[in-house]
C-alpha cells in the first residue's frame, strides 16, 4: 500500500468517525429537544392550566363573599366577572391541550362541576338582592358544596398532572444523560 493511501486512510477513517459521532449527537439533541418541547407544551401546560383554574375558583369565592360583605362595592362584582373569564379561558386552553392525552377524559369532568358552582353563584347573587342573610345561607348550602366538589376534582387532576409532568421531565433528563 502506498504511503499516500495510508495517509489518506489515517485522515479519512477518523474524519468519518467524527462525522458519525457528530451526526449521532445532533440526532440525540434533536430528539431530546422534541421530547422537552412536548413536555412543556402538554404535561406542563396542563398542570399550569389546572393550577390557574384552581386559583380563579378561589378568586371567584372571595369575590362572591366580598359582594355579600359590601353589596354596594362594584369592585367585588368586577373581580367576580374577571375571575369567571379567567377560569373559562384557562379551561379552554387546558381542554384544547389535553386532547389526545391521558388527561382528556378527566378534564371533560370539570364543566359539569363548574356549572353546578355557577348555578350556586347565581342563586347567591339573586338572594343577595333580597338580603345578606339569605345570601349567606345560599352560599353555605349551594355554592360552597359545589366549589368543594370542583376543588376536589381540580386538586386530584392537578396532582396527577404534576406526577406525569415530573415523570416526563425525569424521562427527558434520563435520555439526555444516556446520550
Instruction: Kindly state the average pLDDT of the residues 46-67.
Output: 96
Tens digits of per-residue pLDDT, 70-125?
A: 999 999 999 999 999 999 999 999 999 999 988 999 999 999 999 999 999 999 99
21 or 63: which carries more pLDDT confidence?
63
Residue 26: the pLDDT is 77
Rg (CA), the chain: 27
Minimum mean pLDDT among 31-35, 58-62, 107-111, 148-152: which range? 31-35
Burial string for 80-108 (b: 16+ CB within 10 Å, else e) reads: beebbebbeebbebbbebbeeeebeebbe
Instruction: Kindly state the average pLDDT of the residues 143-158.
Output: 96
- Does domain 3-178 bear CATH number 3.40.50.300? no
Cell numbers found for residue 14: 477518523
**What are the extents of the domains in the chain?**
3-178
Cell numbers found for residue 93: 386552553
pLDDT grade, residue 176 (50/70/90)?
low
Tens digits of per-residue pLDDT, 10-53?
A: 888 888 888 888 887 777 777 767 666 676 678 888 999 999 99
Q: How many Cβ atoms from other residues are within 10 Å of residue 169's Cβ? A: 16
- pTM for the whole structure: 0.77
Residue 76: the pLDDT is 95
Note whether 110 and 91 are within 8 A (CB).
Answer: yes
Amino acid at each position: 500500500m502506498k504511503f499516500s493511501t495510508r495517509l489518506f486512510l489515517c485522515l479519512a477513517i477518523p474524519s468519518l468517525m467524527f462525522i458519525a459521532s457528530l451526526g449521532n449527537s445532533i440526532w440525540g439533541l434533536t430528539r431530546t429537544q422534541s421530547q422537552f418541547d412536548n413536555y412543556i407544551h402538554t404535561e406542563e401546560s396542563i398542570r399550569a392550566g389546572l393550577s390557574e383554574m384552581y386559583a380563579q375558583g378561589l378568586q371567584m369565592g372571595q369575590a362572591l363573599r366580598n359582594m355579600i360583605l359590601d353589596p354596594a362595592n362594584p369592585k367585588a362584582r368586577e373581580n367576580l366577572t374577571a375571575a369567571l373569564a379567567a377560569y373559562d379561558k384557562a379551561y379552554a386552553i387546558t381542554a384544547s391541550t389535553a386532547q389526545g392525552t391521558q388527561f382528556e377524559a378527566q378534564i371533560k369532568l370539570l364543566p359539569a362541576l363548574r356549572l353546578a358552582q355557577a348555578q350556586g353563584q347565581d342563586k347567591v347573587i339573586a338572594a343577595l338582592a333580597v338580603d345578606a342573610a339569605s345570601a349567606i345561607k345560599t352560599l353555605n348550602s349551594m355554592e360552597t358544596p359545589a366549589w368543594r366538589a370542583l376543588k376536589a376534582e381540580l386538586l386530584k387532576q392537578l396532582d396527577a398532572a404534576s406526577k406525569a409532568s415530573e415523570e416526563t421531565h425525569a424521562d427527558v433528563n434520563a435520555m439526555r444523560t444516556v446520550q
